[in-house]
Amino acid sequence: MNFLEVSGVSKKAGKTFELEPLSFDLPRFRKLAIAGETGSGKSTLLKMIAGWISSDTGEIRFEGTRLKKIPDEKLIPGHPGIAYLSQHFELANFLTVEQVLSYANELSEAEAATVYEICRIDHLLERRTDQLSGGEKQRIALARLLVNAPRLLLLDEPFSNLDMIHKNLLKTVLHDVGEQLGITGILVSHDPQDTLSWADELIVLRAGAIVQQGTPQQLFHQPADTYVAGLFGKYNLLPVHTALPGLPPAQETKTHYMIRPVHLKITGDGWPAIVQQVRFFGNYEELDITTGDLQLLVHCDTGTARKGDTIRLSASPNNIWQL
């Protein structure tokens, strides 16, 4: 028995499927991220698991128990043991943080204090909710769910509308929630940096259907198609008839080589190329280069090349994927 089992669930919007029938399992203590373009069905799937909307077909089992559907089998949304943090959470105005949390708390004083420390809000308990920043409010909304002692935590675009400081802080908090509290998590996000660094497993949706499922490493290095490749960062696409040394033999059904910009290396004896443009991104620079008729992107250390330079490039066969 898996911790969470999703079997053949679907959702129709009019005559078309908002979510095609899909299935997957999630073992306990694993972290699953769901990625996909806007409108691909990510939030719909998460709301089904949360018990806020019901599927038209199939079933969801949590810890072996089939989740009841709304409104046929129950009237109140949600399921015991499952916590859902929406993009549009609300906190009661003019209450202190401590009051907001105490109304929801089902933990001992020591356990609740641990949650407040993990969420980095223990210094905010005496403040009123109208005196908080957006990032602080979100961590308090998260703590309000955690003091209910959930076993499954669902997060819908938790990093949207956060500045970089609060975003990085929330990433640390979510890591600690999984490690210290032992809570299984599912996260929906459109940003590859959010999902790749957090998840044990990734599911990619397109038009309500699963396109690919696997580890972050698999989906980044070996995407099923250009849609998946583009969700997790920039890439170069070379026709298989490209005459460059070091490219592996083309597989029979494949039409292109895919190489991530970070995997193109500036070496002393590779393909000759001319740098057309250099863009500074802090930790690295992005080069627009031309080699023959090809236009490629290269990521390299800052100061490696300047506009107009002639460089030589190579890529390890292990980092060349065929689509």
The alpha carbon of residue 102 and the mean position of all alpha carbons in its chain are separated, in whole angstroms, by 31
Mean pLDDT over 150-156 rounds to 97
Q: 211 and 71, same structural domain?
A: yes
From CA 249, how far away is CA 264, in angstroms rounded? 18
Which residues are bridge partners to 155 per DSSP? 85, 187
Q: 247 and 180, same structural domain?
A: no
Which residues are bridge partners to 314 per DSSP? 265
Q: 258 and 219, same structural domain?
A: no
Q: Give the pLDDT of residue 285.
A: 97
Between the alpha carbon of residue 90 and those of residues 93, 162, 314, 318, the distances in Å are 9, 16, 52, 48
Q: Give the pLDDT of residue 200.
A: 96
Q: 160 and 32, same structural domain?
A: yes
* Final residue before a domain boundary, out of 179, 199, 226: 226
Which tokens go with 98? 């401590």
- CATH code of the domain covering residue 269: 2.40.50.140
Mean pLDDT over 123-141 rounds to 93
- What are the start-end ranges of the H helices in the chain? 42-50, 97-104, 109-118, 134-146, 164-181, 192-196, 216-221, 226-231
Domain hosting residue 83, numbered range:
4-226
Q: Give the pLDDT of residue 70.
A: 82
Between the alpha carbon of residue 25 and those of residues 22, 154, 209, 213, the distances in Å are 11, 15, 16, 11
Question: Residue written as tokens 């008839």?
Answer: 241
The alpha carbon of residue 276 and the mean position of all alpha carbons in its chain are separated, in whole angstroms, by 33
Q: 295 and 242, same structural domain?
A: yes
* Final residue before a domain boundary, out of 203, 226, 249: 226
Q: What is the 3-state secondary structure (H, E, C) of 4-57?
A: EEEEEEEEEECCEEEEEEEEEEECCCCEEEEEECCCCCHHHHHHHHHCCCCCCE
Q: 75 and 181, same structural domain?
A: yes
Q: Give the pLDDT of residue 244.
A: 84
Predicted confidence band of residue 252 (pLDDT cuts 50, 70, 90)? confident
From CA 157, how far away is CA 291, in angstroms rounded? 40
Predicted confidence band of residue 243 (pLDDT cuts 50, 70, 90)? confident
Q: 67 and 147, same structural domain?
A: yes
Q: 252 and 139, same structural domain?
A: no
For residues 177 and 185, is the Cβ–Cβ distance under 8 A? Answer: yes
Q: Give the pLDDT of residue 250.
A: 86
pLDDT in tens, 170-197: 999 999 999 999 999 999 988 877 899 9
Domain count for the chain, please give it: 2
Between the alpha carbon of residue 208 and those of residues 38, 41, 42, 107, 231, the distances in Å are 11, 5, 8, 38, 16
pLDDT in tens, 23-80: 999 999 999 999 999 989 999 999 999 999 999 999 999 999 999 888 778 878 889 9
- CATH code of the domain covering residue 213: 3.40.50.300
Predicted confidence band of residue 321 (pLDDT cuts 50, 70, 90)? very high
Mean pLDDT over 84-108 rounds to 92
Q: 191 and 309, same structural domain?
A: no
Q: 145 and 34, same structural domain?
A: yes
Between the alpha carbon of residue 279 and those of residues 13, 164, 264, 286, the distances in Å are 43, 21, 16, 5
Q: 84 and 164, same structural domain?
A: yes
Q: 88 and 207, same structural domain?
A: yes
* Final residue before a domain boundary, out of 171, 203, 226: 226
